[in-house]
């Protein structure tokens, strides 16, 4: 696997996702019984979360996250939403829900991925093709082999014989899968040699969560 470009949009770190916002002051809502929003969180992010968290539980599920993101980003498919929750939720949390700090980190990351998508959507069609996907991933530090790119993009082939093009939703899915699996692989390839010895259990634990949430 290719090296990681530190300028790329970061994957969430549950232990630090609540400390990277400085845009404005925010006093956490005392009615929440869970982690508050990070200080300085954009008020739009707070409003979007609270609008769908109608029971004031401090958690939102997949359908609530889908609704929260629809107003500012895109109405993502539930498969993408579940992948995002899997990547951003606290790994100790068994349920597929996210808290305010994790929502803020997810929102910020999507903004960065949107900028990358628009940068490589050179014809401004709102979609990118295989070559543009390759270039976008390469800009993030991932020199993905053509065979893997073809496998990624084949998920969106409707069988009509036309060239497959990805909208923002599909781009986020592809990018997050590549990034997430690369991060998992790097945990086993501590010397960054591009190869690693992985046990069967480790392999299944690494890959299966993506297959379950991605489909």
Tens digit of each residue's pLDDT, the chain (215 residues): 444 333 444 444 443 443 333 333 334 444 444 558 989 899 999 999 999 998 889 999 999 999 999 877 778 999 999 999 999 998 888 889 999 999 999 999 999 999 999 999 998 999 999 999 999 999 988 899 999 999 888 888 777 767 889 999 999 999 999 988 888 888 898 888 889 899 999 989 888 887 776 55
Per-residue model confidence (pLDDT) at position 121: 94
Amino acid 69: pLDDT: 92
Report domain extents, the chain: 22-210
List the one residue out of 149, 170, 153 whose CA is nearest residue 162. 153
Q: Class of the 22-210 domain?
A: mainly alpha
- Dihedral sign, Cα of residue 87, residue 90, residue 94, residue 96: negative
| Burial classification of residue 147, based on how many CB atoms lie within 10 Å of its CB (0-12 exposed, 13-18 middle, 19 or more buried) | exposed
CA–CA dist 106, 88 (Å, integer): 7
Do 108 and 20 contact (CB within 8 A), yes or no?
Answer: yes
């Amino acid at each position: 696997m290719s090296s990681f470009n530190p300028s790329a949009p970061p994957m969430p770190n549950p232990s630090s996702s609540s400390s990277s916002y400085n845009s404005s002051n925010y006093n956490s809502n005392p009615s929440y019984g869970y982690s508050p929003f990070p200080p300085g969180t954009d008020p739009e992010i707070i409003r979007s979360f609270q609008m769908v968290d109608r029971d004031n539980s401090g958690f939102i599920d997949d359908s609530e996250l889908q609704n929260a993101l629809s107003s500012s980003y895109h109405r993502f498919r539930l498969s993408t939403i579940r992948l995002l929750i899997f990547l951003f939720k606290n790994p100790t949390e068994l349920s597929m829900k996210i808290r305010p700090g994790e929502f803020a980190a997810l929102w910020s990351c999507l903004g960065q991925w949107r900028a990358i998508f628009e940068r490589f959507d050179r014809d401004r069609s709102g979609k990118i093709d295989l070559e543009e996907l390759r270039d976008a991933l390469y800009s993030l530090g991932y020199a993905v082999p053509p065979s893997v790119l073809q496998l990624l993009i084949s998920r969106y082939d409707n069988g009509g014989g036309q060239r497959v093009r990805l909208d923002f939703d599909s781009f986020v899915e592809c990018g997050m899968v590549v990034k997430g699996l690369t991060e998992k692989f790097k945990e086993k390839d501590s010397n960054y040699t591009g190869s690693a010895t992985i046990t069967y259990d480790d392999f299944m634990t690494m890959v299966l969560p993506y297959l379950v949430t991605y489909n």
